[in-house]
Amino acid sequence: MKPSVNRLLPLQIGLLGGIIAVLIGWQGMIVAFSTRDIIGNVISMGHTLLFITIFATGYIAITHSHVTRSVDQLIAGGSAGLVASALIVVSVWLGNVLPLGAMLVNAVPQLYELLTFKQGLVMGSVWLLVIGLVLGSLAALALILPAKIRQPIINALVVLIALGVLQDLVTVTLSNFDFLTPIVRFFYAANGLSLLGAIILFLGFAGGSYLWSTYSKNLQSRIDRLPPTRRRTLRWGTSLLIVLILLFLPSLVGLYLSEVIDNVGLYLLMGLGLNIVVGFAGLLDLGYVAFFAIGAYTVGFLTSPELGRAALMDNWWPALPFGVAMAAFAGILLGIPVLKMRGDYLAIVTLGFGEIIRLLALSDLLKPYFGGAQGTRSIPYPNIGPFQISWHPQEFYYLFLAGCLFAIFISTRVKNSRVGRAWMALREDEDVAQAMGIDLVATKLMAFAMGASFGGLAGAIFSSKLTAIYPHSFNFMISINVVSLIIIGGMGSIPGVVVGALALVGLPELLREMAEFRFLIYGIVLVVMMLTRPEGLVPEARRALELEEFKEESAAESASGEEAVVLETPGQQ
């Protein structure tokens, strides 16, 4: 059946896009992002965001209205873009008449200046409308172009925006190498890319992408044709390169980025632990921060000399196994009461558990042991024997690296073991798993204990890195962060956890303007991810299969729904 063409749909989508654009402005994003230029003095990040929103509105309007003729596509895209920008114009005029600033904190004059391109109210509105029309039509043009040309252009634009957005990362990293300085100076202006550099980069990447799409199959087949020995060398070479990069990463990237990488490592470690509970066994734990806190506080309790007594241990290393073991024990202790709970109930009880731990750490009741609101301080650095080195983020990197590699090793080994397969059976269907002879109690407790122990390890390292721990470092947000990263990476997928940690922890640290909108964006990403790609960015094969089944089922469901509608129509006539 050919979907019918709805003439009004582009306008409706344009209206929706306009509302979203106005709300993005009222969230303060456009103003916050306007300080960073993508291309120096030409276009800022804030305007890029605005333009992408309008462009996407046009694009969605065209694809959803199922028009096929080029003229129709141009009309659909252009009208959607025009409507969206008209709505922004309305918001600007409204902001000039009404004292919206009293209610909406981000409806500031600066926003209107940015939205009207500093051209004044009337000229700015005209500009906005023209840009809306042009961007909507460009979306149509992008769809009309053959994929072979469209894809390289989009790729090059994405790379350009990424290079502009991540300018600090690129310039700081490259500034470690003296011989690259002139190149960096050429491509980057004081703020953003230089205009000439941007044009060259765009052409370069578009051309490169075009060539790649034409010849990459060729290259792949040439690799496939290599004799096995040569192929093995190639593989070993790549692995060696990765190992070398991992080993020398901190000295390559400098202090600031090492700190960022440490943070990624911390969350990666926690993510790997929670991945066992949520990803492998399918038990949604929203109180994972509790185990992180228990690991940290156990180490603090054992090694801190500031709790009104001499420290029980004066080195960090002997305390480490206690931290991990206490966390694992807490995992079992929490696991027992929730054995019979599933899904929602489990989520909320674990959430409550995480809060109880934080409240206890904060309370005066346990102040003699954990320091209450003042926290536990003077936790020693992880020195080995007589080697006293100064512990900077660059040195801690190796500790995180070791921890993560260890966790990845354990995770991969366990995943394909008997226990791992039992977890996956549990995730798919608990009752069937039990009927197949899987011991639910042992299997579940194993998952909780193992997941918790990784969290404890992360907490132990964290306590030493900061040398002081406070209850407020262990709030609910950490649990949400960890849950989000494994879901976005792909539940149960170990490469997914790495990708998730890089995307959710690394990116916001590099983009300080984004930090304010971090949880807003997490929320959107989680919802959109569940609606469109519930298996995650790097899906795990079996999990993807499980979700595929659901898609087929719901497709069948909606198909039967349509049938019902068809059956009803004769009665109405």
Tokens of 360: 């206890």
Q: How many chain residues are in contact with other proteins, going by CB under 8 A?
A: 63
Q: Kindly tell me which of 204 and 337 has the beta carbon lying closer to other proteins.
A: 337
How far is residue 551 from each of residues 66, 384, 526, measured CA to CA in Å? 23, 54, 18
Q: Kindly tell me which of 239 and 554 has the beta carbon lying closer to other proteins.
A: 554
Instruction: Check residue 405 for interaction with other proteins (CB under 8 A).
Output: no
Among 249, 349, 408, 414, binds other proteins (CB under 8 A): 349
Instruction: Check residue 244 for interaction with other proteins (CB under 8 A).
Output: no
Instruction: Check residue 171 for interaction with other proteins (CB under 8 A).
Output: no
Instruction: Check residue 546 for interaction with other proteins (CB under 8 A).
Output: yes
Instruction: Check residue 530 for interaction with other proteins (CB under 8 A).
Output: yes
Q: Smallest distance, Å, CB 45 to other proteins? A: 17
Residues 6+ apart with CB under 8 A from 215: none
Rounded to the nearest angstrom, the gap between the alpha carbon of residue 415 and the centroid of all alpha carbons in its chain is 24
Among 160, 487, 501, 505, binds other proteins (CB under 8 A): 487
CB distance 460 to 320 below 8 Å: yes
Q: Kindly tell me which of 21 and 140 has the beta carbon lying closer to other proteins.
A: 21
Among 117, 186, 215, 550, binds other proteins (CB under 8 A): 550
Instruction: Check residue 353 for interaction with other proteins (CB under 8 A).
Output: yes
Instruction: Check residue 504 for interaction with other proteins (CB under 8 A).
Output: no
Report CA dihedral (389, 392, 393, 398) to the nearest 10 degrees: -10
Q: Which helix (H) or strand (E) holds 37?
A: strand 37-39
Q: Smallest distance, Å, CB 228 to other proteins? A: 42
Q: What is the CA radius of gyration of the chain?
A: 27
CB distance 84 to 54 below 8 Å: yes
Residue 337, Cβ density class (10 Å: 0-12 exposed, 13-18 middle, ≥19 buried): exposed
Instruction: Check residue 367 for interaction with other proteins (CB under 8 A).
Output: yes
- Please identify which residue in the block is written with the tokens 């305390």: 319
Among 20, 312, 341, 510, binds other proteins (CB under 8 A): 341
> Contacts with other proteins in 7-26 (CB under 8 A)?
23, 26
> What's the rounded Cα separation, in Å, for the pair 502 and 500?
5
Phi and psi at 106, nearest 5°, equal -100, 5
Q: Kindly tell me which of 69 and 542 has the beta carbon lying closer to other proteins.
A: 542
Q: Kindly tell me which of 26 and 292 has the beta carbon lying closer to other proteins.
A: 26
DSSP 67: -
Amino acid symbol at 131: I
Q: Smallest distance, Å, CB 411 to other proteins? A: 20
Instruction: Check residue 517 for interaction with other proteins (CB under 8 A).
Output: yes
CB distance 303 to 460 below 8 Å: no
Among 218, 557, 566, 573, binds other proteins (CB under 8 A): 557
Report CA dihedral (147, 149, 150, 156) to the nearest 10 degrees: 140
Report CA dihedral (19, 22, 24, 27) to the nearest 10 degrees: -120
Instruction: Check residue 106 for interaction with other proteins (CB under 8 A).
Output: yes
Instruction: Check residue 434 for interaction with other proteins (CB under 8 A).
Output: no
Tokens of 456: 């404890």
Among 43, 144, 510, 526, binds other proteins (CB under 8 A): 526
Instruction: Check residue 157 for interaction with other proteins (CB under 8 A).
Output: no
Rounded to the nearest angstrom, the gap between the alpha carbon of residue 60 and the centroid of all alpha carbons in its chain is 24
Q: Smallest distance, Å, CB 367 to other proteins? A: 8
Q: Of 38-46, 141-149, 222-230, 339-347, which segment contacts other proteins by CB under 8 A?
A: 339-347
3-class secondary structure per residue, 68-85: CCHHHHHHHHHHHHHHHH
Q: Of 40-48, 88-96, 358-366, 457-465, which segment contacts other proteins by CB under 8 A?
A: 358-366
Name the site residues for other proteins (rule: CB under 8 A): 23, 26-29, 102-106, 282, 284, 286, 336-345, 347-349, 351-353, 355-356, 359-360, 362-365, 367, 441, 476, 480, 483-484, 487, 517, 519-520, 522-527, 529-531, 534, 546-547, 550, 553-554, 557
